[in-house]
């Protein structure tokens, strides 16, 4: 069965620090990968996605992620975080059966101190 | 607002009561999903509709749970004889051919 692991449950950074959130998935076939963000009091929003092609994908608000097939990883990065990046971040993999449902990791809570 | 909407946003109920939640997807989206999210966890898939047909149900969806999507538009999720373990955020998402768009969720508290 497919699964997603996020290694860091809580991350605290100061503004301007660099961010890297880990995500590993288990699935041997073709994968579509996503990072979603949930700001306090708001609904889940898509940050970026990987379907195929260039393994370095860029998303909104300066975020990027790199798909490394050999490591089954899809880590999220941002060179310089802002206080407004305080949120919960979820990595997800889309199943390739007919439902295309999402399998989520447990999430990482990021707190950025001003 | 043309996004996914859910109603109510919050529901407090006593154990043993029945509750029903509604999801209105983005109008042209034929696929609709229900997920459940508990504290400290990511959303977990519950069930999936394509148009009005319920095509997949998770084993998380016990026989106390039922979902419908009449006419392939809005969907309802009903929980009968609620238990404290049902307390969670219930999320709805819809998609056509691309990404899933999520609604704000309904937070259920069972006392």
Structure tokens belonging to residue A111 = 């707190």
Q: Please indicate whether, in this complex, the C-beta atoms of A104 and B42 are within 8 angstroms of each other.
A: yes
B29 vs A17: CA distance, rounded Å:
39
Q: Which residue of B has its CA nearest to A5?
A: B42
What digits encode the pLDDT tens for the residues B1-60? 569 999 999 999 999 999 999 999 999 899 999 999 998 899 999 999 999 999 999 988
CA A9/CA A18 separation, integer angstroms: 17
The residues that bridge with B110 in the sheet, in sequence order, are: B13
**Scanning every residue of chain A, which has its alpha carbon at the shortest distance from the alpha carbon of B37?**
A106
Q: Please classify residue B4 by burial: count the beta carbons closer than 10 Å to its beta carbon, then call 0-12 exposed, 13-18 middle and 19+ buried.
A: buried
Altogether, the residues listed in chain B come to a count of 111
pLDDT at B1: 54
CB A48 within 8 A of CB A64: yes
* Averaged pLDDT, A91-98: 85
Residue pair A91/A105 in contact by the 8 Å Cβ criterion: yes
The chain A residue lying nearest B40, using CA atoms, is: A106
Highest mean pLDDT among A39-43, B60-64, B97-101, B106-110: B106-110
- pLDDT tens-digit series, residues A42-66: 999 999 999 989 999 999 999 999 9
Which residues pair with residue B75 across a beta bridge? B23
Interface contact flag, A106 B44, Cβ < 8 Å: no
What residues of chain B, 55 to 84, have a C-beta less than 8 Å from chain A?
55-56
Strand (E) or helix (H) holding B65: strand B65-68
Q: What's the mean pLDDT when you consider all of chain A?
A: 93
Using an 8 Å CB-CB cutoff, list chain A residues near B4. 43
Using an 8 Å CB-CB cutoff, list chain B residues near A7: none
């Amino acid at each position: 069965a497919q699964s997603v692991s996020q290694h860091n449950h809580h991350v605290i950074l100061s503004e301007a620090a660099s961010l890297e959130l880990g995500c590993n998935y288990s699935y041997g076939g073709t994968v579509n990968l996503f990072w979603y963000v949930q700001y306090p009091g708001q609904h889940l929003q898509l940050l970026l996605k990987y379907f195929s092609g260039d393994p370095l994908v860029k998303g909104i608000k300066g975020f990027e992620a790199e798909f490394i097939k050999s490591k089954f990883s899809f880590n999220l990065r941002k060179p310089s975080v802002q206080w407004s990046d305080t949120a919960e971040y979820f990595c997800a993999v889309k199943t390739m059966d007919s439902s295309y449902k999402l399998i989520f990791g447990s999430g990482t809570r990021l707190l950025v101190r001003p | 607002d043309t996004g996914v909407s859910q109603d109510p946003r919050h529901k407090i109920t006593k154990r043993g009561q029945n509750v029903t939640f509604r999801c209105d997807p983005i109008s042209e989206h034929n696929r609709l999903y229900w997920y459940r999210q508990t504290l400290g966890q990511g959303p977990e898939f519950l069930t999936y509709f394509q148009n009005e047909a319920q095509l997949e149900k998770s084993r998380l969806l016990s026989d106390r749970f039922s979902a419908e999507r009449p006419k392939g538009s809005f969907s309802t999720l009903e929980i009968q004889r609620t238990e404290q373990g049902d307390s969670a955020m219930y999320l709805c998402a819809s998609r056509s051919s691309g990404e899933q768009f999520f609604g704000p969720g309904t937070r259920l508290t069972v006392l």
